[in-house]
Amino acid sequence: MDAVRIALQVLLVLSSLVLTLFILLHKGKGGGLSDMFGGGMSTSLGGSSVAERNLDRFTVAVAAVWATAIIGLGLLARFAS
């Protein structure tokens, strides 16, 4: 059980970092963190709708992994004894 819990904790930390990165990469709708990091500048490469859709898909997939790790850790804590 300890190996599964450690694996889920590592997965949770990694998915949290990647999810934070993906959220910060999203195009800003005005005044926010994305503008502070240069997201407010309009370039020809940044406005690609395909890139935005793929970023959305990756963000949702990583969020699902993150939620699964949370639920798995919760179930392990509940039924460990």
Classify residue 2 by its DSSP letter.
Answer: H
Helix, strand, coil in percent for the chain, rounding step 5: 75, 0, 25
Range with lowest mean pLDDT among 5-9, 39-43, 57-61, 65-69? 39-43
Q: What global pTM score does this model have?
A: 0.74
Classify residue 48 by its DSSP letter.
Answer: -
3: enclosing H helix or E strand: helix 2-25
**Where along the chain do its domains lie?**
2-26+47-79
pLDDT at 47: 53
